[in-house]
Copies of this chain bind each other. A is one copy, B any other.
Amino acid sequence: MIAIRKLTDLTAKERDALFQRFGDDFTGIMVNSVIPIVKKVQSEGDRAVIEFTRQFDGVELSRVCATENEIEDAYHKTDADIINSFKRALDNIREFHMHQKRDSFIYTREDGTTLGMLYQPVESAAVYVPGGKASYPSSVLMGVVPAQIAGCKHISIITPPTKDGTIAPYIGAMAHMLGVTTIIKSGGAQGIAAAAFGTHTVPRADIIVGPGNIYVTAAKAYLFSQGVIQIDSLAGPSEVLVIADEHANPHWVAWDLLSQAEHEEMAIAILVTTSESLARKVITYIEEDINSKRGRHEIKKQAIKNARIILVSSVEEAIDFSNTYGPEHMEFMVENPLQYLTQIKNVGSLFLGAYAPVAVGDYFSGTNHVLPTGGAARFSSGLGVETFMRRTSFQYLTPSALKEAVDHVSKMSSVEGFDDKHGDSLRIRFS
């Protein structure tokens, strides 16, 4: 079923296929579908959003945003037990994200130059929450909490409506729990465009985050490239890379890989291990589960075809592999995992030891689950408070500090062809 391959046996081509898993080229979709949708929403506002929702989702919206009653009803209709679990998760998520806050700083140099940095929230944020086949209330928490802790003044949720034009109940319940009162009931490029430009009823967002389908991704990328909004990293299939040594429990490893496979057909599960014996046992457990046809059988069966098991000769070699791979999630099930902490790089979210399956971080422990995929962990990060902050550098100079700079600025700016007003704008202050 899953082949066990030695890392050293992989061809260059096979390695490239693992490592260079870039996103889909959505340029065609962007040019042919997304840009016309975005431009129509920009010029016609709510009317265009309602029209596209009718056309693409077959849903007739009487208004683009959910009413406060609709949001409150969703909460009250939800089982108290479910609410309770999400509340516990919310406490943990809030606590972890509070640690990410950063204070502005200011200092004065001996020459009289005062310098500093203001860390300020982006004013208006929108969180895309996928709908369709299922709704993802946990993603509401993961998008909204960091924006709230950053201090964003306006926070909206963008999510497709259900078939009868209402909001998915769990999404509404989470919004109410968090105090979010704006839910844009329109998915796809039209929902993104509504938030990016604002409409008569939708507040304009400065940043739009959260994963969606290819239309959502293409709309976010296009509007970012136009300088209209900030975005988080672009979403691809979910990934886990498990590093396990001979001390790891193969049954647990198998279940963690299957938990990843359960997500979607395109999900990627990779085991990198120093133990061939462990690898064989993991395969046996996976086969048993697939043969049992339990749960989301078709999805798991399909996804597990993309799974890979790679044998390495040391934990260090496994870490090197992971550092190059840049996984969204990495489980590190080896003895004394903390001793390797500074060697591990390019991971979205890291799960250390035997008692940290990805599922606990997806929902409960407090870390964020909106993470970079497709190797983007090499250069980008999961959602966090910093995603919703911006920086402003500032400076204040005494006359003598500025005077000290006059000749230097004149020389440097002249070299770059600014031979008149750059230097003179300093000099004038002393003439």
Q: Does A165 contact B (CB under 8 A)?
A: no
Decide: A170 and B426 in contact? CB cutoff 8 A: no
In the bound complex, what is the Cα–Cα distance between A416 and B242 (angstroms)?
24
Decide: B396 and A337 in contact? CB cutoff 8 A: yes
Main secondary structure of the interface of A (DSSP, over half): mixed
Chain B, residue nearest A400 (CB): B355
Which of chain B's residues have a CB closer than 8 A to the CB of A27?
A: 30-31, 35, 222
Decide: A137 and B416 in contact? CB cutoff 8 A: yes
Which of chain B's residues have a CB closer than 8 A to the CB of A368?
A: 393
Q: Does A66 contact B (CB under 8 A)?
A: no
Q: Does A5 contact B (CB under 8 A)?
A: no
Number of interface residues of A (CB under 8 A): 141
CB contact between A295 and one of B134, B354, B361, B421 (< 8 Å): that residue: B421
CB contact between A355 and one of B341, B359, B399 (< 8 Å): that residue: B399
**Given known contacts A113-B366, A338-B396, A295 and B409 CB-to-CB distance under 8 angstroms:** no
CB contact between A133 and one of B118, B364, B417 (< 8 Å): that residue: B417
Decide: B99 and A102 in contact? CB cutoff 8 A: no
In the bound complex, what is the Cα–Cα distance between A137 and B355 (angstroms)?
52
Decide: A422 and B122 in contact? CB cutoff 8 A: no
List CB contacts (< 8 Å) of A177-194 with chain B. Answer: none
Q: Would you give the shortest CB distance from A125 to chain B, in whole angstroms?
A: 9
In the bound complex, what is the Cα–Cα distance between A251 and B425 (angstroms)?
9
CB contact between A365 and one of B120, B363, B405, B421 (< 8 Å): that residue: B405
In the bound complex, what is the Cα–Cα distance between A344 and B321 (angstroms)?
46
Chain B, residue nearest A223 (CB): B22
Q: Does A347 contact B (CB under 8 A)?
A: yes
Q: Would you give the shortest CB distance from A273 to chain B, in whole angstroms?
A: 17
Q: Does A280 contact B (CB under 8 A)?
A: no
Decide: B378 and A412 in contact? CB cutoff 8 A: no
**Given known contacts A364-B405, A413-B363, A425 and B357 CB-to-CB distance under 8 angstroms:** yes
Q: Would you give the shortest CB distance from A158 to chain B, in whole angstroms?
A: 16
Decide: B415 and A82 in contact? CB cutoff 8 A: yes
Which of chain B's residues have a CB closer than 8 A to the CB of A355?
A: 396-399, 401-402, 429
Q: Would you give the shortest CB distance from A147 to chain B, in whole angstroms?
A: 12
Q: Does A239 contact B (CB under 8 A)?
A: no
CB contact between A85 and one of B261, B399, B411 (< 8 Å): that residue: B411
CB contact between A419 and one of B295, B363, B374 (< 8 Å): that residue: B295
Decide: B394 and A349 in contact? CB cutoff 8 A: yes
Chain B, residue nearest A365 (CB): B395
Decide: B395 and A258 in contact? CB cutoff 8 A: no
Decide: B381 and A390 in contact? CB cutoff 8 A: yes
15 residue pairs bridging A and B, Cβ less than 8 Å apart: A92-B113, A95-B109, A113-B366, A118-B341, A134-B417, A135-B416, A218-B225, A227-B376, A229-B379, A348-B392, A360-B426, A363-B405, A363-B422, A364-B405, A364-B412
5 closest Cβ pairs, A-B complex = A295-B420, A230-B379, A350-B394, A381-B391, A221-B225
